[in-house]
Amino acid sequence: MDLPIYYTFSEFKENYPTDFNKWKSLYKEGSELDFVKELISLYEIFVDEKGNYKDRISLYSINPYDHRLNIEMSIEDYAENMEEKIKDYFSFEGEIPKGSTAMDFWEECNEEDHGSFVIDDPRHKYFKYFFISEGFTFALDHIQYRNFTYSVMKIYEFLQNKTKILKRVETPEAKKATEIPEFVPYQAEVGKGKNIPYKLALLRELGIMDTLNAKYDNNQEQLYRILEYLTGGDAKKYYLSMYGDNYNGNDRVTSYHTADLRKKGLI
């Protein structure tokens, strides 16, 4: 499938889904990343090594000693060269056939026998779009050409960004990196059901306990019920060891619990 070149960014974006679906129907084993790589190879001929629009056009001339001379020229000089080649072509071939224009012979006239130069730039076949001809006279549509230089760079940037996104999504390493790990609740290294002081210490260090104390200052029983729900056990006696009457030594929240949380990287 020959992918088309679009001359405006809006047209490119509008047709991107359709073109991909057509491409995918032919290359069923290909991914969107493969599709984007093909598009990049199509548009990168308009971009130079520094990532800017390539505004010079490549061509060559053959001197009398059959030595090839490679040169570059501006789009304006290119237009003049093409006009010369068209005139030279029809000086041999005759008049422009009825129902045709000089533009219909854009490729035929680009031979060593016609004009001083031969355009070997891969963009040559696309530049035809920017010229208006009347008889043997050519005129470059500067506005249309300038708009294209902006559009092609937007398209190229879009494809580069698309590549980065698709690589993160499609590669096995990226898929593994984006997987959400299974949540494993923190268990303190004490007997089963004995991690309530760790949970209360964590709530305190995160500042949540201060919020609860302020909100339920006049409703302690409601506060105890909330803490029981959060910790999964009888939190009241541990809470009182922190903020009220001190229960026996086994039912206290101490600096040991805080240190262990810090050691585990939880605070």
Q: What pLDDT, on a 0 to 100 scale, did the predictor assign at position 193? A: 47
Q: What is the mean pLDDT of residues 69-88?
A: 85
C-alpha distance from residue 16 to each of 42, 118, 227 (Å): 14, 34, 55
If you average pLDDT over residues 35-47, what whole number do you get? 95
Cα–Cα distance for residue pair 62/60, rounded to 1 Å: 7
Locate the domains of the chain by residue range. 1-179, 196-263
At position 140, the amino acid (one-letter code) is: L
Query: What distance in Å separates the CA atoms of residue 41 and residue 156, rounded to the nearest whole number?
Result: 10
For the stretch 216-244, pLDDT in tens is 877 888 888 888 888 888 888 888 877 65
Residue 224: per-residue pLDDT: 85
Task: Write the pLDDT tens digit of every residue in 129-154.
Answer: 998 877 767 788 999 999 999 999 99
DSSP state of 184: -
Q: Residue 158: which pLDDT band, with cuts at 50, 70 and 90? A: very high
pLDDT interval class at 110 (50, 70, 90): confident
The percentage of residues in the chain with a pLDDT greater than 70, rounded to a whole number, is 80
